[in-house]
C-alpha cells in the first residue's frame, strides 16, 4: 500500500477549521496564528500594572527622601508627588496607553489619582 501522507492534496485533510480559518493542524497541534517569532504586542493591563507599581514605589520613596531626609515642607512634598504622578502618567501614555480602550485609560488615571490622594492625605491631613 503506497504512503500518501506526503501528497500535497492531502496536506490539509486533518485541519480543524472554524469557517475559513484554520484553528489547528493535525501535524503540529498548534493554531495557524501561533508563531514563536511573532512581534511582542503588549496589552493594556501590562501598562496599567507598570504604572501602578511605579506609583506605589515612587510615592513613598519621594516622601522619605524629600520630607524625611531633606526636611522640605509638606506642601512642597505633595507638589513633588503630583509631579511624579504626572510623569508616570506621561510615561504610561507614551508606552501605548493612548491606543488602549477608554476603560483602561480611566482605570489607570483613577488608580494613579487614588494613590496620589493617599500620599497627599498623609502629608496634609
Residue that is written with C-alpha cell 516622601 in the block:
63
pTM value > 0.85:
no
- Each residue's pLDDT tens digit, 10-41: 555 666 566 666 655 555 555 555 555 555 56
Q: What angle do CA 104, 54, 37 make, to 5 degrees?
A: 65
Residue 24: its pLDDT value, please? Answer: 56
The confidence score (pLDDT) of residue 114 equals: 96
Return the percent helix, strand and coil in the chain, to nearest 5: 60, 5, 35
First to last CA, the chain: 87
81 and 59 in contact (C-beta within 8 Å)? yes
Which range (23-27, 40-44, 63-67, 90-94) has the least confidence? 23-27
Amino acid at each position: 500500500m503506497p504512503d500518501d501522507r506526503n501528497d500535497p492534496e492531502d496536506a490539509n485533510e486533518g485541519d480543524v477549521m472554524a469557517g475559513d480559518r484554520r484553528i489547528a493542524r493535525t501535524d503540529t497541534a498548534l493554531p495557524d496564528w501561533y508563531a514563536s517569532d511573532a512581534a511582542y504586542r503588549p496589552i493594556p493591563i501590562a501598562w496599567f500594572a507598570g504604572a501602578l507599581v511605579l506609583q506605589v514605589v515612587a510615592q513613598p520613596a519621594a516622601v522619605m527622601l524629600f520630607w524625611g531626609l531633606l526636611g522640605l515642607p509638606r506642601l512642597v512634598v505633595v507638589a513633588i508627588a503630583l509631579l511624579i504622578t504626572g510623569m508616570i502618567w506621561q510615561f504610561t501614555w507614551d508606552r501605548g496607553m493612548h491606543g488602549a480602550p477608554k476603560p483602561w485609560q480611566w482605570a489607570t488615571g483613577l488608580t494613579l489619582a487614588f494613590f496620589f490622594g493617599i500620599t497627599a492625605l498623609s502629608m496634609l491631613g
